[in-house]
Amino acid sequence: MSDFTPRSEFLQTLMARGYVHQCSDFASLDALAAEGKVVAYVGYDCTAPSLHVGHLISIMMLSWLQRTGNTPIALMGGGTTRVGDPSGKDETRKILTIEQIDANKAEIRKTFAKFLDFGPGKAVMTDNAEWLAPLNYIEFLRDVGRHFSVNRMLSMDSVKLRLERENELSFIEFNYMLLQSYDFVELSRRYGCNLQMGGSDQWGNIVNGIDLGRRMGTPQLHALTCPLLTTASGAKMGKTAAGAVWLDAGMLSAYEYWQFWRNTEDADVGRFLRLFTFLPLDEIARLEALSGAGINEAKKVLATEATALMHGREAAEAAAETARTTFEAGGTAADLPGIEVPEAELKAGLGVLSAFVRAGLVASNGEARRQVQSGGLRVNDAVVTDIGQTLTLADATQAGAIKLSFGKKKHVLIRPA
RNA sequence: GGGGGAAUGUCCCGAGCGGCAAAGGGGGCGGACUGUAAAUCCGCUGGCUAAGCCUUCGCAGGUUCGAGUCCUGCUUCCCCCA
């Protein structure tokens, strides 16, 4: 599939940067893209109030689509979120209330605004609840359901896996692919959408949509999937100790987001620079070629560029500076994450163990105790050896705060208030 | 409808003669080594006012000095027969 040589800037870019996993028809899509006639959508669930790093790759694809003169559509799954996609999951997804979905949707909207231009005639954002919610069951069965073969649906990976593993697959989830297919058709009719993009796990669902389109008389539709991202050591991308790496600043600060990218494995740096920044390829090639400790420079560029896209250039530079002060100069940057503790409490003396719990660095006093055993806790850069140690106002440094560190990378400031 | 099997530490998989805070993995976290990397090695991976106390093995009862383990009922899932 990769021996195809595209003419269009869109496909050239995507292929060169490693976004392409599979495509239903390269030549046909390339022809559309060369004329700026691609209208492509990616669907996003509204199960959380923020998207996470896992979604970023497809957002970047939409952005490149726009940058190369085509039209992106961000589809909010306000309707499908009420059903739940069984793809790649063993367990039935929680079904959210409409209020939760709407609230999540509003937050997610803000993220897209940073990557896409929604001006008149530009990118489109819509919600499939618009056409899915008013659907009439009988009509839907008659117009759409008739085109689906249960035999074939049963043979699809997403379904087959669940059956083979003897996992429950509810009827409502079984219907998810019908709804997603119908979305594609509906978007084709409403916006002339002719391409759906998504992760490689979406291939089956997307191809179903293409089929449905053919049967329901839309122009030819296309599928383009990107690889599912894992790190070079095989871990799922976008998970940290704290959980998902959220895009929204309210869920994860710019500093923590910067740190996430800074901690990229050596082997991933080039790949991530191509996928998650807009830096020119020759510049990336130069950074990627750095070896040994030099590759850290590339990681900083990656972190700052990726953070700038999401949180703005200024926040990204600030995060880089905070990191520099903390890690390279060994100092205490004033804008590390922090918590406030009433002055009176500090006067009375606050136990180290509970201080670390308060700071959210460890889950319980017990864990704090154990970490002291292994030398993982530090106060103002001094290793904690006595679990009975208490913190008082006198421990505040000239910056006016007490620095708690858990491991080498996690720091929280305690500020008297 | 009948018969058989399963549910374990709230991340997952998974052992468990009536003495069990419960083997072993994976994952995660910390330490050492490094470069805020990977690999490797070591340690940790229920809670608390901590030589003690409390809460955990699908749910509810029972037997017992003592129950994850035995008995009864229930729930859910799987397999075979109808």
pLDDT tens digits for A47-76?
777 888 888 999 999 999 999 999 999 999
The larger pLDDT score, comparing residue A245 to residue A164, is at A245
- pLDDT value for A2: 54
Percent of chain A with pLDDT over 70: 88
Pairing mode of beta strands A71-76, A39-44:
parallel
**Whole-number Å distance, CA A273 to C1' B7?**
46
At residue A339, φ and ψ (nearest 5 deg) are -130, 160
Is the CB atom of residue A265 positioned under 7 angstroms from any atom of strand B?
Answer: yes
From the list A381, A374, A377, the residue with the least C-alpha distance to A399 is: A381
Query: What type of residue is A336?
Result: L
Confidence of residue A241 (pLDDT cuts 50, 70, 90): very low
Is the CB atom of residue A168 positioned under 7 angstroms from any atom of strand B?
Answer: yes
Q: 10 Å Cβ neighbour count for A84?
A: 22
Confidence of residue A93 (pLDDT cuts 50, 70, 90): very low
The larger pLDDT score, comparing residue A96 to residue A113, is at A113
Q: Which nucleotides of B are covered by protein (CB under 7 A)?
A: 27-32, 34-39, 43-50, 77-79
- pLDDT value for A80: 76
**Whole-number Å distance, CA A87 to C1' B43?**
39
Judged against a pLDDT cut of 90, whether residue A251 lies above it is answered with: no
- pLDDT value for A236: 63
Q: How many helices (H) and strands (E) does chain A have?
A: 19, 15
At residue A316, φ and ψ (nearest 5 deg) are -65, -45
- pLDDT value for A47: 74
CB-CB contact of A179 with A128 (8 Å):
yes
- pLDDT value for A208: 92
Structure confidence by residue, pLDDT tens digits, A22-34: 999 999 999 999 9
What one-character DSSP code corresponds to residue A380? Answer: T
**Whole-number Å distance, CA A153 to C1' B74?**
37
From the list A27, A50, A7, the residue with the least C-alpha distance to A257 is: A50
Q: A86: burial class by Cβ within 10 Å (0-12, 13-18, 19+)?
A: buried
The larger pLDDT score, comparing residue A285 to residue A120, is at A285
- pLDDT value for A91: 41
**Whole-number Å distance, CA A234 to C1' B25?**
18
Confidence of residue A306 (pLDDT cuts 50, 70, 90): very high
Most confident segment among A211-220, A323-332, A346-355: A211-220
Percent of chain A with pLDDT over 90: 59
Q: Three-state SS for A338?
A: strand
From the list A71, A14, A2, the residue with the least C-alpha distance to A281 is: A14
Question: What is the rounded average pLDDT for all residues in chain A?
Answer: 87
Judged against a pLDDT cut of 80, whether residue A398 lies above it is answered with: no
From the list A112, A114, A108, A117, the residue with the least C-alpha distance to A51 is: A108
At residue A23, φ and ψ (nearest 5 deg) are -140, 145
Please, what sign has the CA dihedral across residues A388, A392, A397, A400?
positive
Is the CB atom of residue A367 positioned under 7 angstroms from any atom of strand B?
Answer: yes
**Residues near A272 by beta carbon (within 8 Å), at least 6 away in sequence:** A261, A264, A302, A306
From the list A271, A265, A200, the residue with the least C-alpha distance to A235 is: A265
What the block records as the tokens of A301 is 């560029």
From the list A206, A220, A139, the residue with the least C-alpha distance to A176 is: A206
Distance between CA atoms of A211 and A247, rounded to whole angstroms?
A: 34
Query: What type of residue is A311?
Result: H
Structure confidence by residue, pLDDT tens digits, A148-200: 988 888 777 667 666 655 555 667 767 888 999 999 999 999 999 999 999 88
**For A275-282, what is the mean pLDDT?**
96
Q: A94: burial class by Cβ within 10 Å (0-12, 13-18, 19+)?
A: exposed
* Nearest nucleotide (CA of A361 to C1'): B29
Confidence of residue A233 (pLDDT cuts 50, 70, 90): low
- pLDDT value for A239: 55
Most confident segment among A12-16, A94-98, A237-241, A331-335: A12-16
- pLDDT value for A235: 64
* Nearest nucleotide (CA of A326 to C1'): B36
Q: A408: burial class by Cβ within 10 Å (0-12, 13-18, 19+)?
A: exposed
Q: Three-state SS for A302?
A: helix
CA angle A225, A238, A310 (to 5 degrees): 85
From the list A63, A59, A30, the residue with the least C-alpha distance to A194 is: A30
Is the CB atom of residue A409 positioned under 7 angstroms from any atom of strand B?
Answer: yes
- pLDDT value for A96: 62
Distance between CA atoms of A341 and A396, rounded to whole angstroms?
A: 12
From the list A238, A180, A195, A269, the residue with the least C-alpha distance to A50 is: A238
- pLDDT value for A170: 66
Distance between CA atoms of A385 and A383, rounded to whole angstroms?
A: 6
Active site residues per annotation of A: 47, 52, 55, 89, 93, 180, 201, 236, 239-240
The larger pLDDT score, comparing residue A35 to residue A2, is at A35
Q: How many CA atoms lie within 13 A of A187 on its CB side?
A: 35
- pLDDT value for A240: 54
Judged against a pLDDT cut of 90, whether residue A40 lies above it is answered with: yes
Q: Which residues of A258-273 are buried (b: 16+ CB within 10 A; e: fewer)?
A: bbbbbebeeebbbbbb
